[in-house]
Amino acid sequence: MFPATLPEVVPVAVTVPGPRPDCGDAGPVAAPVEAGASVRIDCREDLGIVEVHDPRLFRAGREAFCRALVEEAVGPGRALRAEVCLTSSDFRLEFEPGRFNRAGLAERVVSAVRVATPAASGPIISHDDHRDAWTSLTAFAADGGPSLWETRIEHPGRVVLRHRALLDAPWLAVRVARALRDLRGMRACRAFPWSGHVVIDVDPGSGAPDGLVEAAEAAYRRESRAARPVAGVPVPGPIASEEAPPVETGPRRVLGVVLAGGSFALAIAGFVLPGIPSAPFLLLSHHYLLHSMPATYRWLSRQPGVGTLIRKADRAGRPWEDRRAMWKTLGWSALAAAAFLVIHPPLPVALALELGLLAFSGPRG
């Protein structure tokens, strides 16, 4: 017998309106049961696995408690992985095999529940239309704090993964989605960088593919270039590293601000009007913003949409260090502007002014 009794966290369960999808499929489940319902605890000491079934604690309406629980359960001297499924009322912990005996496992489970108990009165976010609703929550031990994944079954055949770090570094969402496309049972996988979501389409009724969250965590760690990443902390870019370029001062800084704004305006115009090449002006805008206003650059890098464009330009490897490539790009841009003269007379004037300033200033690596 498992030498532990879970503490009473909530005396009476509160029914949350509306059905909840199951963790593996999208079928409805029964309403939460009252306190005193059967509690089952299974322990496989040789594998370091503890599974707890308790409808009082792990259910829709107790998301704040469950989040605090999995965050407390993983870490040094604790579990390597913890997962809560709201609809099956299961809590699973995976420890290093053979490290703890049954008493040690029981002590860590009860300790995590007690620490998380104050969060039992947290907000209810289990309604299906709530933007933060989730079906299961998985935490992995990582340096500096748990790496936390939220899984939601939106409807039969669609699974949504969410991680806070994907919102802070949207390009990670794209890379994680790309890494998950080869999983068995996957029909489509795409990222939404602005919201930090990875949306996965599977065969209706099959539920989430086996090992989905583990594969997402492995891809996240690999793509963030850290063996033990810190959840919720953006991956630092060059501006936060020792490679940060020197900041322009005086007239060159003023000129850089003007060129950054002008290049960005022309890049936006290129998305709307035919004939204006957007890519070179986005890269030039990134270059001048980085050198003239690094604080603004850091702030924009954290914003949805614009931050994604900035990070893409940054990963391009500073193409303007190659002056030959720079002049070739500017030459083609000038040719496109000349061809555009017949269609929209005012815009080539702005293009000519911008290109002239760029040629006069000469981007420096």
CATH classification of the domain holding 185 = 3.30.70.100
Asked if 217 and 292 sit in the same domain, the reply is no
**122 in the same domain as 1:** yes
Is the pLDDT at 228 greater than 70? The verdict is no
pLDDT higher than threshold 90 for residue 304: no
pLDDT-derived band at 345, boundaries 50, 70, 90: low
Q: The pTM is what?
A: 0.54
Q: What is the CATH number of the domain that holds 37?
A: 3.30.1370
- Confidence class of residue 21 from pLDDT cuts 50, 70 and 90? very low
Whether 258 and 278 map to the same domain: the answer is yes
Closest to 25 measured CA to CA, from 138, 160, 135, 156: 156
Domain that holds residue 118: 1-127
Encoding tokens for residue 231? Answer: 């959840």
Residue 136 lies in a domain: no
Highest mean pLDDT of the ranges 118-122, 146-150, 268-272, 297-301: 146-150
Q: In this predicted structure, which of 29-43, 158-172, 285-299, 343-357 has the lowest mean pLDDT?
A: 343-357
* Overall residue count recorded for the chain in this entry: 365
The whole-number average pLDDT for the span 181-210 is 77
Long-range contacts of 10-19 (CB under 8 A, 24+ apart): 10/35, 10/56, 10/57, 10/62, 10/120, 11/35, 13/55, 13/56, 13/59, 13/61, 14/61, 14/124, 15/61, 16/60, 16/61, 16/124, 16/126, 16/127, 17/127, 18/127, 18/128
Residue 91 DSSP one-character state: E
Shared domain for 123 and 199, answered yes or no, is no
Average pLDDT over residues 19-48: 58
Tally of domains in the chain: 3
Q: From the centroid of its chain, how far is CA 239?
A: 21
CA distances from 266 to 26, 159, 291, 344, 350 (A): 47, 39, 19, 14, 8
Of 208, 235, 262, which residue sits at a domain end?
235
Give the bridge partners for 44, in sequence order. 49
Picking from 105-114, 136-145, 299-308, which range would have the lowest pLDDT averaged per residue?
A: 299-308
Residue 184: what pLDDT? Answer: 78
pLDDT confidence bin for 50, thresholds 50/70/90:
very high
Q: Which of 21-25, 119-123, 239-243 has the highest mean pLDDT?
A: 119-123
Q: Facing residues of 74 across strands?
A: 79
Query: In the chain, helix, strand, coil percent, each to 5?
Result: 40, 15, 45
Q: Which of 210, 235, 260 is the last residue of a domain?
A: 235
Residues 47 and 89 in one domain: yes
Q: Which of 212, 235, 258 is the last residue of a domain?
A: 235
Tokens in use for 118? 């104050």
Q: Which residue has the higher pLDDT, 57 or 235?
A: 57
Cα separation, 239 vs 253, whole angstroms = 17
